[in-house]
Structure 1
Amino acid sequence: MDNTNVVSGDNVMAKEQKYIYIFIKRIFDFISSLFGVIVLSPIFLMLIILVKLDSKGPAMFGHKRLGKNGKIIKVYKFRTMVVNADEVFQNFTEEQKKEFSINFKLENDPRITKIGDFLRRTSLDELPQLFNILIGNMSIVGPRPIVEKEVEKYGEFSEKFFSVIPGLTGYWQANGRSDTTYEERVKMDMYYIDNRSLILDVKIIAKTFISVIKKEGAI
């Protein structure tokens, strides 16, 4: 028996399964995000009003992140910080800056507004990313899109990281969310990329929903 033909046949089958998965995943993303935008429109309006009343500045903004193949995309979010967040950051203590440089997050961040704190704890600040999913530069499930400074955190795994479309939620959010270290996050992202499937995606969506309800960390 020719083992070369067996291996070749397995590769073809694997590619077909991959394309079927990507096709079904995109259909699911489009339908669910369109449904979400329509059904949640009253909540969008209410949150826009609350953000505007709480502090000066736009209710939503597009934050520059790196998507598939390292392409710059605008990830839409409800604003959770004061408009002069960059200026406030410059006044951080050295300890605060060091803490932020390690995991790109800060306990008791003074830049976050009152409504912004609520939005982050409930992950409602991420709702506008339904528009990203609708247009196709994000998916419901996938590694979270990162900023340019975070690329070094992935090191040798950066190329693999950029091989997939980033997601609204992912494996690390479903298994610890912001309570995990960045090193653990990288490992979880790589695990997802190596093992992604429709079944795994469904499990991640379910676990993320439970984490949000229990308020375990924040996306």
Structure 2
Amino acid sequence: MLRILDILFSLMGLVVGFPILLIIYLVGLFDTGSPLFFQQRVGRNKKPFTLVKFRTMSVNTKSVASHLASASAITPLGGFLRKTKLDELPQLWNVLKGEMSLVGPRPGLDNQLELTNARDKHDVYSVRPGITGKGQVNDIDMSTPERLAKVDAEMINELSLKSYFVYIIQTVTGSGQGDRVG
């Protein structure tokens, strides 16, 4: 049932949100010259996939977890996109393709070994990663891998139709601050 909702909502979001996606893309051309950001992430069953987001940091920023990146790398548009969470909109494509869900553990980088090990221990890789989830709406990010893995596991075990919608609504209405930047 949740996969059907993922497909419907991501398709609807991409179609209805197309004008917003296009505007952000065009403004991003002037901000960084390269408005989309593609990054290898760890998905379900630890299968790698390419996550797509709007670029929020300068083009030459090293590909590391947000909490390890320099805050000075965030562009003016990027600051706005992060604050409003609009940088996440292109991930609706990842959801539509089946690589992600709207709700699930945020996908980590393959070089985040401490997070990968903690998530392995808590069987977090048994589900699709998500755009949002319990960790995100409660300001728990990848800088605390063991804590995040525990919260991810709690969310997976407790996930219901009701909590699916609660996490989405909390995200849209501004709960959580997103990933902390160094």
1:117-156, aligned counterparts within 5 Å?
Answer: 117-156=79-118
1:59 aligned partner, one-letter code: P
Residue number among 165, 179, 187 corresponding to 2:128 in the alignment: 165
Larger radius of gyration, structure 1 or 2? 1
Q: Are 1:77 and 2:45 matched, yes or no?
A: no
- How many residues in Structure 1 have an aligned counterpart in Structure 2? 178
TM-score (norm 2): 0.87
Partner of 2:177: 217
Deviations 1:54-99 (A, max 9, x none): 123x21122100000101101110111111113xx9xxxxxxxxxx
TM-score (norm 1): 0.73
Say which SS state the counterpart of residue 148 (structure 1) adopts. Answer: coil
Offset at residue 199 of structure 1 (A): 1.8
Offset at residue 133 of structure 1 (A): 0.6
Q: Which runs of 4+ in 1 moved over 6 A?
A: none
User: Unpaired segments of 5 or more residues in structure 2?
Assistant: none
Q: In the alignment, is the contact (CA less than 8 A) between 1:141 and 1:168 conserved in 2?
A: yes
Q: Percent identical across equivalent pairs?
A: 37
CA RMSD of aligned residues (A): 2.3
- Whichever structure has more helix as a proportion of its residues is 1
Say which SS state the counterpart of residue 132 (structure 1) adopts. Answer: helix
Q: Name the CA distance, whole Å, in 2 between partners of 1:129 and 1:46.
A: 16
Deviations 1:119-161 (A, max 9, x none): 1111111100000011111000000011012232353541511
1:75 aligned partner, one-letter code: L
Offset at residue 180 of structure 1 (A): 8.0
Partner of 2:22: 45
User: Unpaired segments of 5 or more residues in structure 1?
Assistant: 1-23, 90-99
Q: In the alignment, is the contact (CA less than 8 A) between 1:55 and 1:82 conserved in 2?
A: yes
Q: Name the CA distance, whole Å, in 1 between partners of 2:5 and 2:109.
A: 26
Q: In the alignment, is the contact (CA less than 8 A) between 2:103 and 2:164 conserved in 1?
A: yes
Say which SS state the counterpart of residue 65 (structure 1) adopts. Answer: strand
Q: In the alignment, is the contact (CA less than 8 A) between 2:137 and 2:167 conserved in 1?
A: yes
Partner of 1:9: none
Q: Name the CA distance, whole Å, in 1 between partners of 2:7 and 2:112.
A: 28
2:92 aligned partner, one-letter code: L
Q: In the alignment, is the contact (CA less than 8 A) between 2:7 and 2:95 conserved in 1?
A: yes
Say which SS state the counterpart of residue 37 (structure 1) adopts. Answer: helix
